[in-house]
Structure 1
Amino acid sequence: MPQDHHTHRRAVALLALSNVLGGIGVASGIAVGALLAEQLGGTAVAGLAQAAGVLGAAVAAVPLAALATRRGRRWSLTLGYTIALLGAGLVVTAAVVGSFLLLLLGLGTFGVAQAANLQSRYAAADGASAATRARSISVVMWATTIGSVAGPNLTAAGERVASGVGIPGLAGPYLFSALAFALAATVLGTFFRPADDGADGSVRQPVLVPGAASPPRTVGATGALRWAAGHSVARFAVGLIALAHAVMVMVMVMTPVHMRHSGMSLELVGIVISVHVLGMYALSPVFGWLVDRSGGVRVAVGGIAVLFTATVLGFVAAASGGRPVLTAAALTVLGLGWSASLIAASALLTEVAPDPVRVPLQGATDAVMSYAGAAAAALAGPVLAAGGFRAVNVAAALLVLPAALLAVGAARPAHVTTPADGR
């Protein structure tokens, strides 16, 4: 049910603020997570730091969505950041006592912030009208840009603070993460009152299932995904979110390794990753406006084309000896394709999913997205070792093809079926 204009603008502003804070917290920790893991466990296990965070986000996505269904977005998002706050504390404790296993537990718990950050885009869409739904999603996503840029720049300050309180330097940025998560939880828990939350706190959703004699039964993540599998547009949206994220992660995580193998400086690596992050978020409002104006399927298809173009550019960059300008262009285009795909597909999910499928499906989709990213990251290393950065881009291009096939089905009229009961 659309909120009045003032109420919805206030809700989006609060969600954007929480995303800035959450983005600062996540980026502050991610910037040093692998270094801390290497310090405690060795180089061979340094990559487990990112894997733990991604898995934490994936595991939390469905329970947070279930809580949103029962109690409302305010409760689920606030709890997500509160759990992440505890995770940051565990990371600091692990650094102090020198425990690698405790570090992994802390980083997994820390990753719940990313799940909350992602689900906030759906919270922005809950009370939006059909004409502004995608723009609401995109504004909240755009706010992440600020946190993603500011967070890593707090590393040096975090080390100084850590030195002042007598803890290991690499634990310092997690103190800033804890503060940012605490502020995000406070903002949402105190001020966020979405009109789409019913009197009992649960998310109020319109019944959109044609011909239903009684209100549909509540479904879990499995039932929601089963319903989506039988609906061409929902199937396309879920598949695109997962595949676009897998493509982006596969290329992104191997780019710094490829650049270092090509003899490029750490400064150049930082610049390329920075422009990639800008591509992911900076033009989000533009893509939101395009979705509201032209439709989600059209923009999603455009996102697929942009992702494929990015893999071609990445292949050319690798074939030409890893020129930094071409590599930066490929990573920028990759970020743009991810942004267009994610915004369009998220808007499509919100548009087509009926009560009571919508929120469970959103959570399940974010879980699938995170698992796809983790799998892509795990596969990217062996692919790079076997065939270089060109092979990584070829593999990523192959992941684009199923999304294109799903788009063909989404362009046809779909019959909306009653969601199956399941958990």
Structure 2
Amino acid sequence: MTSTAPATAGISAHPEAQRRTLTVLVASQIFSGAGLAAGITVGALLAQDMLHSTDLAGLPSALFTAGSALTALVVGRVSQAHGRRPGLAAGYFTGALGSVGVIAAATLGSPVLLFVALFVYGAGTATNLQARYAGADLAAPAHRARALSTVLVATTLGGVIGPNLAAPTGDLAATLGIPRLAGPFLLAGAAYFLAAAVLFLWLRPDPLLLARDRQAAAPAPTSATDPVAAAEQRRPGVVLGALVMIVTQLVMAAIMTMTPVHMHDHGHGTAASGLVIAVHVGSMYLPSPLTGWLVDRYGRLVVAAASGLTLLAAGIVAAAAPADSVALLALALALLGLGWNFGLLSGTAIITDAVPLATRARTQGLVDVSIAIAGATGGLASGMVVSAASYSVLALTGGVLSLAVLPAIAVTAHRR
């Protein structure tokens, strides 16, 4: 029988349920990490091959991030009404259907079907991000960032393995009569389906519903009797958290989308671009436990500021890297992933602190819509910038833009 006593700053009111929730989320994130990496690795190359143009090479990223925007809204509303389990499972299943559609489009040579399927495929990306919120529903306030980081780091294994399977899955696709560049979507479809199955079967009790039951059973805290609640009320609000995540997503999506195209245009093969993207995805998720500890230990604002500075460094390195240097491009995308990780975890913690359970899932979904739109904008604009100027200009522009979070953080810190 689980306790209904309110959590203290450092202890979850439902430790056993929290451990089970994190275990199930970790398993599903490993599968979904492999699924989302497929689109990152070959989506732009597939569009470039089918359209015979670099101008719209950023369109796949824009489409599946636009699809993720709609899914974030739907998953947020379903989770608000029925809990995390049905919302997340439905999102991953939709992503699996999108993967099947991409394979069909490549086989038929239909750009229109490709674009529709990539939009649907974006559901998996949105759901992968929405899952992080489920890790924090039952977490004590002082451990929220670390709970979020546990869910995010689980994506690393699948995210690193997925891009490195680009060549083998391409070979498999060729033996099946499917274009090689569509091969990674075979992996994506299976991975998203398995992630949906894991959540639907085993995410019980539902963490969001259980957290609401706990809150309903506990006496309402006041600032006089609950210093943790009072401290949370003084933390930055939804606007700052959303801004941090929007800027980091925009910059990351723009530079990441065009890096495989930039490498391909300078003679690098799929294996080399897959390696660089694997380093990038690993850097997006692998540092999460350390980042979560830093956010809980030193505060949300410090790590949010670090995200802007790290993304600036990524842009500078990417712009300065010789086109034939896989090592420097990998370093640039490692910094890009790390800056994104700093921004996502600090921004998510800010949002979770600021929003009450009664409206939490719906608000989180709306925030993730903004993040997805930012990613779509970055992905779509990236191809145009590279076509009109160069990859170096794109990288430097993104790095400078990342500094936009610093004034907002400074104002918030001053008010506090």
Q: Smaller-chain TM-score range?
A: 0.7 to 0.9
Q: Taking structure 1 as reference, are residues 323 and 92 closer, same or farther at Cα in structure 2, changes over 3 Å only? A: closer
* Equivalent position amino acid for 2:190 in 1: L
SS of 2:358's equivalent?
coil
Asked if 2 retains the 8 angstrom alpha-carbon contact of 1:3 and 1:196, the reply is: no
Answer yes or no: is 1:308 the counterpart of 2:312.
Answer: yes
Q: Taking structure 1 as reference, are residues 35 and 340 closer, same or farther at Cα in structure 2, changes over 3 Å only? A: closer
Partner of 2:371: 369
| Equivalent of 1:25 in 21, 35, 54 | 35
**Sequence identity, in percent?**
36
- Cα shift at 1:259: 4.7
Q: Number of aligned pairs?
A: 392
* Equivalent position amino acid for 1:337 in 2: G
Mapping 1:17-416, distance limit 5 Å? 17-38=27-48, 40-43=50-53, 45-162=56-173, 167-198=178-209, 206=215, 232-259=236-263, 268-315=272-319, 317-318=320-321, 324-413=326-415
SS of 2:165's equivalent?
helix
SS of 1:127's equivalent?
coil
CA distances 1:112-160 after superposition (whole Å, capped 9, x unpaired)? 0111100000110111111221111111111111111222333444345
- TM score, norm. by length of structure 2: 0.83
Partner of 1:419: none
| Equivalent of 2:21 in 11, 14, 27 | 11
SS of 2:240's equivalent?
helix
SS of 2:142's equivalent?
coil
Could you tell me how far apart the structure 1 residues matched to 2:398 and 2:174 are?
42
Q: Taking structure 1 as reference, are residues 161 and 350 closer, same or farther at Cα in structure 2, changes over 3 Å only? A: same
Q: RMSD over aligned Cα, in angstroms?
A: 3.1
Q: Which runs of 5+ in 2 are unaligned?
A: 1-6, 224-234
CA distances 1:330-379 after superposition (whole Å, capped 9, x unpaired)? 32222211111111111111011224342222111211111112212233
Q: Taking structure 1 as reference, are residues 100 and 388 closer, same or farther at Cα in structure 2, changes over 3 Å only? A: closer
Q: Taking structure 1 as reference, are residues 189 and 324 closer, same or farther at Cα in structure 2, changes over 3 Å only? A: closer
CA distances 1:264-312 after superposition (whole Å, capped 9, x unpaired)? 6766544433322222121111001111222212221222222223333
Asked if 1 retains the 8 angstrom alpha-carbon contact of 2:61 and 2:380, the reply is: no
SS of 1:249's equivalent?
helix
SS of 1:132's equivalent?
helix
Q: Which runs of 5+ in 1 are unaligned?
A: 212-230, 415-423
